[in-house]
Structure 1
Amino acid sequence: MASGILLIPGPIVISENVQKALGTPSVSHTSPEFVDLFASTLQKTRQLFQAGESAQPLIVAGSGTLGWDMAASNLIEPGAKVLVLSTGFFSDSFAECLQTYGAHVDKLTAPLGGVVPLSDIRKTLGGQKYEMIVITHVDTSTAVLSDVKSISEVVKNVSPDTLITVDGVCSIGCEEFAFDAWGIDYALSASQKAIGCPPGLSISVLSSRAIEVALNRKSQSSFFASFKKWIPIMQNYEQSKAAYFATPAVQLVNALNVSIGEILEQGLEARIAKHHATSDWFKNKLRTEKGLKLVSSNQRVSAHGLTAVYVKKPAEAISALKKKGIIIAGGIHKDIKGEYIRVGHMGESACNDSLCHIQLCYEALSELEL
């Protein structure tokens, strides 16, 4: 397989230690070694999300998209009203998932490259009752960052019974996120982005309120994605008791334990600050030296794990960088799909100064007519 610098918005370059963790021998998922490992990983997940003991982390084989199904099939009943804040392709896809499970979805759509104004959220929540609000912390299609903290404050003030669900697939590990302090009810992520692990794990956290809703749901509309099935499994593993519902991805859990451990060892605040510094450097170079325009409308709403930037010939830029061994991504937003490129800068590529991945990417882009 051809090697290169992988700078798409996930999967990302992983560390040597995470790579080694993937190569460990297989063990039984009910063995004492794995039970202890899983317990450690779940506890580290709490720290990563900044969630306390009343919350419940879940680590399940699957992609981030599985977290959408879990929210839709466990936290609301068919016909429930859900408010989705749309900042791009992935927000809209989450809305489609909710509708698949019978939710009545209303969308507040942000201007392209922007966020939904807090005043619009406040007005909409005040006008009718919603069982859930869905916030995409970073929409990977536009690189737009939503202010989850401020939105949550509005929800708590205007509609405190509304469950707050956050898609943190492209934010956990590179953006500030405080599950308990912000009053989040369900946050979902995935292993392959800023968390720094290969694809294959759906990682999420439920509040005590969300747990109660899920366990008292009138009907079950999913089997594999059922919180009623998974919550006892996770609780047992955290108590160092072997449990079984479906076989966990043993090597991936081992790799996740290492990757979150590296984040926490560096310090979560320091890790986030490093992502911010790398992102700011790259975006400023593109704007000031190349005269390029970002898809995100201003710095306040720009994500720090990737950059989406308008270029004249995206396909040619992607091809030219590929020839230099640098892999970036094209656009996927339906309105501007052929007008921009996306560069991921998460995990090792953002935080390991010896790799110089983003500098090499900028130098390669600088040689092109953009």
Structure 2
Amino acid sequence: MKGRKLLMIPGPIEFEPEVLQAMGMATTSHVAPDFIEVFGNSLELMREVWKSPMGQPFIVAGTGTLAMDMAISNLIEHGDRVLIISSGYFGKRFEDISKRYGANTTILEAPLGEVVSLDSIEKELKTNQYKALTITHVDTSTGILVNPKPIADLAKKYNTLSVLDGVCSVAGEEINQDEWGIDVVLTGSQKAIGVPPGLALLIASQKAMEVWENRKTPVCNYYADWNNWLPIMNAYEERRPSYFGTPAVNLIVALESSLKIICKEGMDKRVKRHRGLAMAFRTAIASLNLKLLPKTNEIAANTLTAVYYPKGIDGTALLSKIANDNVIVAGGLLAEIKTSYFRIGHMGSVSSNDLISVLAVLERALLDLGHQMIAGKSLQTFQNELLKPD
């Protein structure tokens, strides 16, 4: 027996052995020449993953929430208007962060299982002048996928900054930051980037940097202030030592290792892999007479799947049986329906074999709890979907 469970939650994920090996190296000085090279190379590789050759990358010890905080605190001043486009829990978090810095916020909330319409977004942008709008690319709480490109187009049309929460999408979903004109794209290390938790990662456009440089008031967050971090990023990219706060040395070594793996696979191929596995997995889940939270396949994320518990099945018992069979999935997160659904992550280094294991364990648990279904149906469906020609 391998003595460990298969981790299939929406982050942290299963990590590549090379990444864990890099993480376990002897810690070096943060100003040692070899680490400076690693840090500088990581910044450059981020531009390739984000598809943002013109952007300014930041690597800071923290979480995805810190990356959200950095974006808002550096771009928003007291009294600025911010439009929050929400499809779940993390849109509301953007609202909380924006209010903390004195922003006047308007939140457009999608009905459960849906996305906010472009018409309603444009109507709001026509009515009021906004400094920035926020988009949750994939909301981890609902598994809803939002297409950011047309929203970014609207932001440009109405001279509004666009901030994309890519915590559950960067390196898993399609993102072309520079081509789409998105001003900030942010994430955390523990999702599709494939590094243990602890790094806040973002890239800011030249426009975003200009807006920040022209602020009338100081940034109201000392740790997140780009005034402190930009000289550090510039120094490391120029392969010079610098210091503001001690970087997470081992995590950044692991980050470089993972970014190299991602770039070797190639972003287009990686996005296609995520999409193909997710489509097959959703089809397999549906074959078990289970209902997905997203109302259409087009707005279902390719990095995780949110599934309602079947009627008459105790969710706690289902998750317990799955865990006892050495697979870990996540319960619900959205407060209003938390006990009604569960979530399965499938991002980063995920393989078809991982998802076959999940389906097999899920089938056994459902059958044991009396759910009406055909044994083996999801496995057959999954395999058939994968065998379909592109």
TM-score for the superposition, normalised by structure 2? 0.91
- Matched residue, 1:215: 213
Q: Which residues of structure 2 form unaligned runs of 5+?
A: 372-390
Distance in 1 of aligned mates of 2:343 and 2:25: 34
Which letter does structure 2 place at the counterpart of 1:357? D
Contact residue 5 and residue 326 of structure 1 kept, 8 A = yes
- Matched residue, 2:384: none
- Matched residue, 1:29: 30
Cα-to-partner distance string for 1:98-123 (whole Å, 9 max, x where unaligned): 11111111001111011000010111
Q: Secondary structure at the match of 1:189?
A: strand
- Matched residue, 1:256: 255
Correspondence 1:42 to 2:43: yes
Superposition pairs of residues 304-343 of structure 1, within 5 angstroms? 304-312=302-310, 313-343=314-344
Correspondence 1:361 to 2:358: yes
Q: Which residues of structure 1 form unaligned runs of 5+?
A: none
Cα-to-partner distance string for 1:11-37 (whole Å, 9 max, x where unaligned): 000011001001111111111111111
Cα-to-partner distance string for 1:259-284 (whole Å, 9 max, x where unaligned): 11101101111111111111111110
Superposition pairs of residues 166-185 of structure 1, within 5 angstroms? 166-185=164-183
TM-superposed deviation, 1:67: 1.1
Which letter does structure 2 place at the counterpart of 1:244? Y
Which letter does structure 2 place at the counterpart of 1:62? G
Which letter does structure 2 place at the counterpart of 1:280? M
Q: Secondary structure at the match of 2:339?
A: coil
- Matched residue, 1:105: 105
Superposition pairs of residues 231-250 of structure 1, within 5 angstroms? 231-250=230-249
Which letter does structure 2 place at the counterpart of 1:321? I
TM-superposed deviation, 1:71: 1.7
Residue 303 of structure 1 is aligned with which of 301, 304, 307? 301
Distance in 1 of aligned mates of 2:155 and 2:120: 12
Distance in 2 of aligned mates of 1:92 and 1:220: 22
Distance in 2 of aligned mates of 1:220 and 1:341: 39
Q: Secondary structure at the match of 2:290?
A: coil
- Matched residue, 2:386: none
TM-superposed deviation, 1:6: 0.3
Superposition pairs of residues 1-370 of structure 1, within 5 angstroms? 3-52=4-53, 54-157=54-157, 159=158, 161-217=159-215, 218-287=217-286, 289-312=287-310, 313-349=314-350, 352-353=351-352, 356-367=353-364, 368=366, 369-370=370-371
- How many pairs align? 362
Distance in 1 of aligned mates of 2:16 and 2:59: 21
Contact residue 214 and residue 228 of structure 1 kept, 8 A = no
Larger radius of gyration: 2
Contact residue 197 and residue 255 of structure 1 kept, 8 A = yes
Root mean square deviation of aligned Cα: 1.2
Distance in 1 of aligned mates of 2:275 and 2:182: 23
Distance in 2 of aligned mates of 1:188 and 1:37: 20
Distance in 1 of aligned mates of 2:318 and 2:95: 32
Which letter does structure 1 place at the counterpart of 2:271? I
Moved more, 295-304 or 208-217: 208-217
Which letter does structure 1 place at the counterpart of 2:260? G
Q: Secondary structure at the match of 1:78?
A: coil
Distance in 1 of aligned mates of 2:241 and 2:290: 54
Contact residue 189 and residue 204 of structure 1 kept, 8 A = yes
Contact residue 7 and residue 327 of structure 1 kept, 8 A = yes
TM-score for the superposition, normalised by structure 1? 0.96
What stretches of structure 1 move > 3 A for 4+ residues in a row?
none
Which letter does structure 2 place at the counterpart of 1:359? I
Which letter does structure 2 place at the counterpart of 1:23? G
TM-superposed deviation, 1:2: 6.3
Cα-to-partner distance string for 1:31-88 (whole Å, 9 max, x where unaligned): 1111111111000001010001x31000000000001211221101011110000100
Q: Secondary structure at the match of 1:220?
A: coil
Q: Secondary structure at the match of 1:286?
A: helix
Q: Secondary structure at the match of 1:257?
A: helix
